[in-house]
Amino acid sequence: MKTATFVAIIALSTTAAFAQGVGYTDTPQIRGQKWKVHDKARPNPPEVIPGATFSHGAPAPSDATILFDGKDFSAWQKDGGGAVPWKIVNGYMEVVGKSGGIHTKQEFGDAQLHIEFATPIEVKGDSQGRGNSGVFFHRFFEIQVLDSHNNKTYADGQAGALYGQWPPLVNAIKSPGQWNSYDIVFEAPKFDDAGKLTKPAYATVILNGVVLHNRKELNGPTNHRATDPYKAYSGKGPISLQDHGNPTRFRNVWIRSLGGYN
């Protein structure tokens, strides 16, 4: 969820449309589903305690591109251009609130991404204001990062959600301050020469060794309180990390191209 739109959430929280920070009643219906975007009536996924530190610190395969090894931001730039304003501490990068998001200099199509994250150990805020960030593919498709540990929020905004579209099958986040591992396979959408969609985007998401989405179809770009249609593009784009004002941490980021548009 974009930082600018978070202001809108706060403004709406005093109205009947926003129910105590856990959902909405006035949003459009999600295409192909019975639920509205961020529907307050949509059941939250059950909690599952991960049984292992699956892939934590996983070395990159020989054919992977290293995006962050804990030393520098050479593979990244600030959204809008320029040097990355976040900080590096003890081998991880940390969001500097209100400094802006970042994205990779290189673009990718179909890809396998590994990234580890930790939400702040000091719990502040609730719902979408707690440990919030996001992993974006091609700037359009967000895999939610959130402190969902004992934190009630709308179902399609939980950690691991395909934001605003599909809740994760389960809530497999660890407690604040602990490291979590995402292993994500993203298939880019395809369009014909006339710009018509011929294949939607798909995402497979594993969090801490637990499958959250198994080749789940994306209905279009993810967004806050909206359902956006697909718009033709090249099928390639950067990996982006969001500044939502919370000092979320990331480490050990690598990616493998899987063909397709690459």
CATH number for the domain harbouring residue 206: 2.60.120.560
C-alpha span between 73 and 55 (Å, rounded): 22
What's the pLDDT at 11?
A: 37
What's the pLDDT at 12?
A: 37
| pLDDT of 161 above 90 | yes
67 HSE (CA, 13 A, CB side): 27
- Per residue, the 3-state secondary structure of 97-125, as one string, reads CCCCCEEECCCECCEEEEEEEECCCCCCC
Cα 112–Cα 184–Cα 122 angle in degrees, nearest 5:
130
Total domains in the fold of the chain: 1
Cα 91 to Cα 58, 59, 122: the distances in Å are 14, 14, 20
How many residues are there in the chain? 262
Q: Per residue in 26-56, pLDDT tens?
A: 999 999 999 999 999 999 999 999 987 767 8
Of 161, 155, 157, give the one whose Cα is nearest residue 34.
155
| pLDDT of 185 above 90 | yes
What is the average per-residue pLDDT within 131-155? Answer: 94
Neighbours of 83 (CB within 10 A): 10
Residues 6 or more apart in contact with residue 155 via CB below 8 angstroms:
23, 39, 42, 43, 44, 45, 161, 167
Domain that holds residue 56: 1-262
Q: With the CA atoms of 251, 257, 258 and 262 taken in that order, what torsion angle do they form, in degrees rounded to the nearest 10? A: 150
Q: Under a CB-based contact definition with an 8 Å cutoff, are residues 165 and 156 in contact?
A: yes
What's the pLDDT at 25?
A: 95
What's the pLDDT at 58?
A: 87
Structure tokens at 214: 């198994």
| pLDDT of 151 above 80 | yes
C-alpha span between 30 and 180 (Å, rounded): 29
What is the average per-residue pLDDT within 228-241? Answer: 97
H-assigned helices in the chain: 3-12
